[in-house]
Amino acid sequence: MVGREVTPELAFRLGACFVKKRGERIVVGRDSRSSGEMLESALVSGIISSGGVARRVGIAPLPAVSLAVRDYGDAGVMVTASHNPPEYNGFKLFGDGGGEAGKAEEERVERGIGAAKLASWDALGRDERLHSVVRDHIDLALSLVDVGLIKGKNPRVLVDCGNGAASVEMPFALREAGCRVVAVNAEPSGLFSRGLEPCAENLCDASAMVRAVGADLGIAHDGDADRAVALDENGRLLGLDAQLALVCGEVLSGGKRKGTVVSTVEAGLLVRDAVESAGGKLAVARVGSSFVAREMARLSAVFGGEPCGEYIFRGGVPVPDGILSGLKLVELFCRRGKLSGQVSRLKPVFMRRAKYPVKDKAGAMKRIAPGIEKEFSGKVFAEDGIRVDFSGGWVLVRASGTEPIIRITAEAASEKKLEEVFSRAEKVVKKFA
């Protein structure tokens, strides 16, 4: 929380120890939180004090900050707490090329934080401003969607920026793409009119407004705009797996590109079916956008998406891009018609999730994983919990990152099959937990 763990002192020290060598250019961006300006100023002061060049972007979506790091920096920091409540804030680190900083880099910074050395008076760095970052990112995003198609349809789009970083970019990007735009919560004031997670309970107003203005679809973002979710013309969310499945289909067949798509252990059958029926190959990664990005690079994948609404596109930036995702959802509407109709044509989903409290989740998982592997035969992925994919279904057993619980997720082609798969997995978990 700001004022407790996250303070200007911490931001200063982080800035000071983040600079590796004199003259290094560190791009600094932020979302719209009220504590953002204070933390940004302290961070910049730290960067200058150790001889670095701070290149300020101001309020910008996370993918725009990533692009600025790629084009104008050696590394970067964004002051953001993504979708978390307004009293929180934090720092997201970027490496060379604009990707999320790896674990090694984060550890280097953490070790250095108590012992930052200040440069002498004649070796201080400086403060610079970058003005074209949002413009650059709009251009990049528009180059990756079919603007001709969107202009031809001229759809009415309601966008809910959640008073976050999307406010400074998404209404402009949509208008340039050829949409009739109704923008709400689009003042990046630091005062939030809704919760920043783009989920159903936070999007009641957006849903009503989609209907009230007769929009063809709605787009909503989280605080740092690395995520986008779509609402259909009735103001209903598509569902996270359904949305991801539709975007996978659009990327693979709309763009007429075959290839590999990366998702995580949490992606369901809709995603697998969408990728395979469009002629693509689905690869599974650990949960977390940095793992998805790394796997995409390794496999030269065309797209990487997590069910939470974080999508990475080849040709774009190596972090989730909520602005481009939102434009892709508009493109999807323009190419294939009403989103409600597209969702209704997907197969029904039979999925079940349950959690089990455990004392030692790491120890329990060590015993459970071989048990699950023995119980189910299929394709095994064991780098993040254990997932087994078999014909017509899959099962995942995974420890929570934050709570002392283990979760089972299972999906199958029918209710009956699901019951069977789930109870077999549950038996293994209960035996070894």
Q: Residue 32 Cβ, how far from Mg ion at the closest point, in Å?
A: 13
224 part of the interface to Mg ion, by CB under 5 A: yes
Q: Which stretch binds Mg ion (CB under 5 A): 173-181, 218-226, 284-292, 332-340?
A: 218-226
Q: Does 289 bind Mg ion (CB under 5 A)?
A: no
226 versus 295: smaller Cβ distance to Mg ion: 226
- Point out which span in 19-27, 121-129, 134-142, 220-228 binds Mg ion (CB under 5 A): 220-228
Considering only residues 244 to 283 of the shown chain, the ones binding Mg ion according to CB under 5 A are none
Q: Give the residue with the Cβ less far from Mg ion, 169 or 224.
A: 224
* Among positions 160, 226, 321, 411, the unique one binding Mg ion when judged by CB under 5 A: 226
Q: Which is nearer to Mg ion, 160 or 226 (CB)?
A: 226
Q: Is there binding between residue 197 and Mg ion (CB under 5 A)?
A: no
What is the smallest separation between the CB atom of 195 and Mg ion, expressed in angstroms?
A: 13
289 close to 100: Cβ distance less than 8 angstroms: yes
Write a three-state SS string for the chain.
CECCCECHHHHHHHHHHHCCCCCCEEEEEECCCCCHHHHHHHHHHHHHHCCCEEEEEEECCHHHHHHHHHHHCCEEEEECCCCCCCCCCCEEEECCCCCECCHHHHHHHHHHHHHCCCCCHHHCCEEEECCCHHHHHHHHHHHCCCHHHHHHHCCEEEEECCCCHHHHCHHHHHHHHCCEEEEECCCCCCCCCCCCCCCHHHHHHHHHHHHHCCCCEEEEECCCCCEEEEECCCCCECCHHHHHHHHHHHHHHHCCCCCEEEEECCCCHHHHHHHHHCCCEEEEECCCHHHHHHHHHHHCCCEEEECCCEEEECCCCCCCCHHHHHHHHHHHHHHHCCHHHHHHCCCCCEEEEEEEECCCHHHHHHHHHHHHHHHCCCEEECCCCEEEEECCEEEEEEECCCCCEEEEEEEECCHHHHHHHHHHHHHHHHHHC
Taking the complex as a whole, the smallest distance from the CB of residue 82 to Mg ion amounts, in Å, to 3
Q: Return the residue nearest Mg ion (CB atom).
A: 82
Name which position in 146, 160, 222, 232 contacts Mg ion (CB under 5 A): 222
Answer for the pair 325, 228: CB distance below 8 angstroms, yes or no.
yes
The distance of closest approach from Cβ of residue 222 to Mg ion in the complex, given in angstroms and rounded to an integer, is: 4
AA identity, residue 57? V
**CB of residue 78 to Mg ion, shortest distance in Å:** 10
Each residue 65-94 as x (binds Mg ion by CB under 5 A) or -, in order, gives -----------------x------------
Stretch that binds Mg ion, among 219-227, 351-359, 389-397, 415-423 (CB under 5 A): 219-227
The amino acid that residue 336 corresponds to is R
List the beta bridge partners of residue 160.
184, 220
Our CB check for Mg ion shows the closer of 63 and 112 to be 63
User: How many chain residues touch Mg ion (CB under 5 A)?
Assistant: 4
313 vs 394, beta carbon nearer Mg ion: 313
State phi, psi for 62 to the nearest 5 degrees: -55, -45
Minimum CB separation from Mg ion for residue 301, in Å?
Answer: 21
Which range in 224-232, 256-264, 270-278, 399-407 contacts Mg ion by CB under 5 A? 224-232
Give residues 94-123 in contact with Mg ion (rule: CB under 5 A). Answer: none
Q: Which is nearer to Mg ion, 216 or 306 (CB)?
A: 306
Instruction: List the catalytic residues.
Output: 82
**Least distance to Mg ion, CB of residue 227, Å:** 5
Q: Which is nearer to Mg ion, 82 or 325 (CB)?
A: 82
Which spans of this chain sit near Mg ion (rule: CB under 5 A)?
Answer: 82, 222, 224, 226
